[in-house]
Amino acid sequence: MGTTDEAILPVDHGERLAVGFCRVLRRAGLRLPPSATINFVEALGLVGAETRDALYWAGRSTLIHRPEDIALYDRVFSVYWQKQMGETVSFEGTPQPVVLALDLGEDDEHDDVGDDADDGDSEIQPVRFSRTEILTNKDFADCTQEELDELTRLMSRLAFTTSQRRSRRLTPAKGRGDRPDLRRTVRWALRHHGEPMHRAYLEKATRPRRLVLVLDVSGSMEPYARALIRFAHAAVVARGRTEVFALGTRLTRLTRHLTSRDPDIALRAALPEVKDWAGGTRLGEGIREFNDEWAIRGMARGSIVVILSDGWDRGDPTQLGQEMQRLRRVTRELIWVNPLKATPGYAPLAAGMAAALPHVDRFIEGHSYASLEQLAIILAGVGSDRVTELRVS
């Protein structure tokens, strides 16, 4: 979308109006971090703010990151600058042509693309995309084995920050703590002939919060299961206090087999243990077994439990709903990761998914590396207070 090339605002007013424009975009529903506003102002400083064309493209290149936000940006841009300057901002012409080139890291391919762009219309702008950037957003079901191996190496770099919980144990406090520490207070007093010159205190210690991953390995999840079990291995190695279970027609504990730091060795040890890989699904029976044998007895108490499944279940959905309710009572937070949620027009209409959804705290995507990276951020950000709001989107 092009813009007319008329003068729109004096340069010295650019920063003030740019910040105001970003505020209006946020009120309209566009998510803009503070860094986007800074980038917008810096872009205006480079290209100038004397023309509508420069102003429009400086904002669109720094503030818009999704194609679906362009229409909202155009409407806000028109209304805002008409109000500020008393002029109607019109958009004319067609989008500037672009040549997309995949950056594979080979100089000869880069040169070929550049030559083609130079030989053509001078209005054509070549744009490059990194192979890694494309791969992180690619659906696991569409990835080749080579791409899955590359994603495995990326998953090993995920920042699995361990969230903390307060323990019943006490530890010496640096300042004023929860209760007096008589032993240290007396010990310090003996250094001053029995005079209690300083008082020591104790406070509750913290310990890593346990993470439990329950991975659906049924036939419907087969395109995603191998990538998700690599994610589980990365969590076991990097995070600590992590338990992993495979769930199909039976429940299989895989934690011990995923402790090797070499992902290939870990997967070769874990996969033979899963006798029902790419088989049927009995989520209700599996969650019941997990509750009876592990969760209710202590593993899930105060823990973060993540179920990675598409929600397709051959069993009784009523049983699944009841077992999810039991599990929710003892967990710190219950998260359901569904690879199908990213599909356009998806709705949780499967009987199993519909039965489980009312009992989860978060319902998120899990179809790509980028979505699992977001899951790792969520796991690190779980606070110390009990979640009381149902955050299902």
- Report pLDDT for 36: 83
Are residues 219 and 193 both part of a single domain? no
- For residue 55, tell me if it sits in a domain: yes
Backbone angles phi, psi at 339, to 5 degrees: -60, -25
Give, as one character, the DSSP assignment of residue 191: T
Per-block mean pLDDT, blocks of 10 residues, the chain (393 long) = 42 66 84 82 78 81 84 84 53 44 49 47 50 82 89 85 74 82 86 82 83 94 92 89 94 94 90 90 94 94 94 91 96 95 89 94 94 90 42 43
Summarised one tens digit per residue, pLDDT across range 312-345 is 988 899 999 999 999 999 999 999 999 999 988 8
Name the residue range of residue 106's domain: 98-136
- For residue 130, tell me if it sits in a domain: yes
Total domains present in the chain:
4
Are residues 387 and 295 both part of a single domain? yes
Are residues 361 and 305 both part of a single domain? yes
- Report pLDDT for 49: 66
Is residue 258 a contact partner of residue 270, using CB atoms and an 8 Å limit?
yes
Are residues 21 and 119 both part of a single domain? no
Structure tokens at 299: 């593993």
- Report pLDDT for 392: 46
Are residues 286 and 370 both part of a single domain? yes
- Report pLDDT for 30: 84
Q: Which amino acid is residue 332, in one-letter code?
A: R
Are residues 185 and 284 both part of a single domain? no
Are residues 180 and 251 both part of a single domain? no
**340-347 long-range contacts, CB within 8 A, separation 24+:** 340/310, 340/311, 340/367, 341/365, 341/366, 341/367, 342/139, 342/367, 342/368, 342/371
Residue 304: enclosing H or E segment and its boundaries?
A: strand 304-308
Are residues 371 and 224 both part of a single domain? yes
Summarised one tens digit per residue, pLDDT across range 73-88 is 888 888 876 665 554 4
- Calculate the CA dihedral of residues 160, 165, 171, 172 and round it to 10 degrees: 80
Are residues 122 and 185 both part of a single domain? no
Are residues 339 and 215 both part of a single domain? yes
Are residues 224 and 362 both part of a single domain? yes
Domain stops at, among 92, 120, 148: 92
- For residue 27, tell me if it sits in a domain: yes
- Sequence-distant (6+) residues with CB within 8 A of 291 are 300, 323, 326, 327
- Report pLDDT for 126: 52
Is residue 99 a contact partner of residue 127, using CB atoms and an 8 Å limit?
yes
- Residue among 215, 239, 241 at smallest CA distance from 228: 215
Q: Which amino acid is residue 285, in one-letter code?
A: E
